[in-house]
Amino acid sequence: MKNINITELPNGIKIISEKISYVKSFSLGFWFNVGSRDETEENSGISHFLEHMFFKGTKIRSAKKIAEDIESLGGYLNAFTSKEHTCFYGRGLTDHVEKTFEVLADMIQNSVFNPKEIEKESAVVIDELNDIEDSPDELIFDKFESNVFKGNSLGMPIIGTKKNLREFRQKDLIKFVRENYTADRFFIVASGNIELQDLIMFAKKYIMKMMMAAGTTKRDLILTPAKDIYVEKETQQVHYILGKTTYGIKEKRRNIVSVLSHILGEGSSSRLFQKIREENGIAYQINSFLNSFFDISTFGVYLSTNNKSVYKAQDLIFKEIEKIKQKKVGEIELSRAKEYLIGNMLMSLESTTNRMLRIAQSVIYFNKIKSVEETVKHIQSVTVNDIREMSNELFESTNKFENGGLTRVILSSKNILRQKVA
């Protein structure tokens, strides 16, 4: 891709940069192809906990000093953990690239994981976990993924468990870093007014001696049929998910599912929003979703409503699904969906941080720089026949949940799952 350059250092670290001459800033990400998918039940949550702990002090910097060194330059430092990768990133003016690079390098190489800080941060993350458990619209998605990915690390929540969070020790963090935060899993990605040669120079100066490559952990995935589940939770609303697994990021057919998802339930002009909320007024929140990983995705519909309306809403969902299965989506509706997806993507690329994120994920998932034009072409290539065929493939048997591949999760204060089985 034009203006994007990539190089690999002798120790296996990849450096990718996108030069944007007309901006005065940069976004710099230190990426590790490591996430909760690389954990076990015994250390579930350790990737996310480590993300927190990397900010809590190094051999030469306190937690306060890490923040001050970046914020005093008008910059910004943050991180996130997903199921498949972890990213530490900074934003700032071009003049301060080296300082941002040096601080990030110090964090990932020299963090001390002080036992007192571990104890304090454990309480902080447990509070974060409690917040999730008190948010039914978040909790239900964790329950859904633990159901469809039962027996696999993909089914474990990123945040982990209270038991593990209370038991993490310095030696556990050091061991996980040593085994997983290796050069072959490490990417340095930048977008903005920045030169590749400068990044290479900084890498040689600050992290060339970091770590040598190690074998990458296998991410096996063995699926078993999921069953409908009820989650008891004191809540005024019923929270409901109907969904299944489908194509992952590496599969081109995922683009068809993405367009289908938008037509079905993404945005206020979607079929489900119009039918269930606008016409019938029986759900405040309803949307389809497509959460994707390298080799698999989860796809489905989420809604929140009251006890009396949940099965009426379910019936309406099935009716809309049947319409898409039996009758071709109109060209105008299809065009709107594709233009929405393309427009959202292109607008997001106004941000150097989003550009950095996109480039990194392209390298991680495709081992190449996937151009914007290529992505647009794939979306534009989706036809009305593709949508119909995919609808019939995904919803082959809408009235047979367990056997048809669809599964429900219902979260409410009262078990209404047994009251009616479609």
Pick the closest to residue 244 from 396, 39, 411 (CA basis). Answer: 396
- In the numeric block, the tokens 């919803």 are attached to 395
Name 242's bridge partners. Answer: 301, 408
Distances (CA, A) of 281 to 275, 324, 420: 8, 22, 21
CB 417 within 8 A of CB 280: no
Distances (CA, A) of 420 to 241, 374, 403: 15, 46, 17
Q: Is 24 helix (H, G, I), strand (E, B) or coil?
A: coil
What is d(CA 366, CA 33) in angstroms, rounded to the nearest whole number?
13
Please state the length of the chain.
422
- Among candidate residues 18, 39, 41, 51, the one labeled active-site is 51
Distances (CA, A) of 50 to 77, 116, 199, 256: 16, 14, 25, 36
What is d(CA 274, CA 288) in angstroms, rounded to the nearest whole number?
13
Q: In 10 A of CB 199, how many CB atoms?
A: 23
DSSP string, 364-403: HHHSS---HHHHHHHHHT--HHHHHHHHHHHTTTTT-HHH
Q: Which amino acid is at 100?
A: T
CB 242 within 8 A of CB 317: yes
Active site residue 102: no
What is d(CA 99, CA 69) in angstroms, rounded to the nearest whole number?
8
Pick the closest to residue 260 from 204, 215, 300 (CA basis). Answer: 300
What is d(CA 244, CA 222) in angstroms, rounded to the nearest whole number?
15
- In the numeric block, the tokens 């109907």 are attached to 242
CA torsion through residues 8, 9, 15, 17, sign: negative
Pick the closest to residue 219 from 28, 40, 52, 409 (CA basis). Answer: 40
Indicate the pairing of strand 407-412 with strand 238-246. antiparallel
What is d(CA 394, CA 268) in angstroms, rounded to the nearest whole number?
23
Q: Which amino acid is at 176?
A: F
Active site residues: 51
